[in-house]
Amino acid sequence: MRQLLLLSTLFFPAFLAAQSAPLACDGRITTVRISEIKPDGSVEGFLAAVAAHKAWTISHGIASDEIYATRIILRDEKTREQTYSTKQLMTFHIHGSRQPGPKHDEAYDAFVKLYRDNSDIKSEYNICLPNPSK
């Protein structure tokens, strides 16, 4: 038992350090999500959540963050006809810094509720979005 305790005290701090060290990124960390509109939700409700999310970040001094929603283009493999999905949207939250954000408040809870009332997240990725070339 003593050996286990000794080993855990030796390796656990290194494990925590490895877990919390941010990856190098020559650009901006970006959260990309694909969300599916719920049967009782709407694209309009989802876009209202995105607008409220943007407003919240700005009102809390996070002006360097960017948040976009985009419609997904579907293509019929036979006809090659393209249409916009009415069921799925993709969002990009381009983070302005790697610092923790402000505390959640009622306005935060309100835009999260709008998202949850209108959609389910189907997939989520964090990526390193390269800086634009000059």
Tens digit of each residue's pLDDT (9 = 90 or more) over 87-104: 999 999 999 887 778 889
pLDDT band for 11, please (50, 70, 90 cuts).
low
In a domain, 115, yes or no: yes
Res 13: pLDDT: 55
In a domain, 83, yes or no: yes
For the chain, give the percent of residues with pLDDT over 70: 84
32 or 11, greater pLDDT:
32
Res 54: pLDDT: 96
How far apart CA 56 and CA 15 sit, in angstroms, is: 34
In a domain, 106, yes or no: yes
Which tokens is 115 given? 């998202």
Mean pLDDT, rounded, of the chain? 87
In a domain, 2, yes or no: no
Which tokens is 100 given? 């923790």
Pair 34, 119: CB distance under 8 Å: no
Q: Which residues pair with 33 in a beta bridge?
A: 91, 124
In a domain, 15, yes or no: no
Res 6: pLDDT: 47
Tens digit of each residue's pLDDT (9 = 90 or more) over 37-69: 999 999 999 999 999 999 999 999 888 999 999
pLDDT beyond 90 at 14: no
Q: Which residues pair with 121 in a beta bridge?
A: 35
Domain extent, residue 73, equals: 24-130
In a domain, 103, yes or no: yes
Q: Averaged over 25-29, what is the pLDDT?
A: 92
In a domain, 1, yes or no: no
How far apart CA 80 and CA 63 sit, in angstroms, is: 40
How far apart CA 91 and CA 117 sit, in angstroms, is: 16
In a domain, 114, yes or no: yes
Q: Provide the number of structural domains found in the chain.
A: 1
Q: What is the domain-level CATH number for residue 69?
A: 3.30.70.100
45 or 20, greater pLDDT:
45
